[in-house]
Amino acid sequence: MLSGLRDKVDTALEPVAKAFARAGFTPNVLTCIGFVVSLLAGILFAYGLPRFAAIALLVCGFFDMIDGAVARFTGKVTAFGGVLDSVVDRFTEAAIIIGIVYSVTPELGQWGWPAGVLALVGGFMVSYTRARAEAAGTGKLDVGFAERAERMLIFAIFALVERTGYALILVAIFSYITVIYRLVVAYRRLR
């Protein structure tokens, strides 16, 4: 859903991307900076500081957008950069969800860990379903509501109002709906 805004966001980020490129930042370095910030967000969640974690999460999202913009602007789009970005995205999501689960177990009681596991697996399956279907020949399969950007935005919004446990539940539900929807679309395209 938010991926459809990529062209508009890239246009808006072009001056910032130019500044980062002129300062000598490579796309892969920016990806790694975003990863470090995501670890900080996970730690802040774990220590029960969701509002600070939300800010760190938004900063992490900025680096997740700017690394691709710098790559496109400088002509340094590489296959390895795409792989690195995808792997870092999975670790980022895991760090955030683990931090949230650690802090919200009292909020959700016995349902904290299961909600976290379902959200984590669901998020991974959204990405895996797309990658596997595209490799099978579906063409671009960026359908559904729970892409990574949406999931991170849900976590950030719920963290700002200190209800991250409910974000886990919402992310889990939306993730599985998205996986099912992607499977249906992939089935139709591959028939």
The residue from 64, 85, 89, 142 that is catalytic is 89
Asked if 142 is an active-site residue, the reply is no
Rounded to 5 degrees, what are φ and ψ at 48?
75, 35
Rounded to 5 degrees, what are φ and ψ at 163?
-135, 50
Cβ atoms of 46 and 16 within 8 Å: the answer is no
Q: How many CB atoms lie under 10 A from the CB of residue 139?
A: 10
User: Which among 24, 21, 59, 7 is positioned nearest to 38, based on CA atoms?
Assistant: 59
Catalytic residues: 89
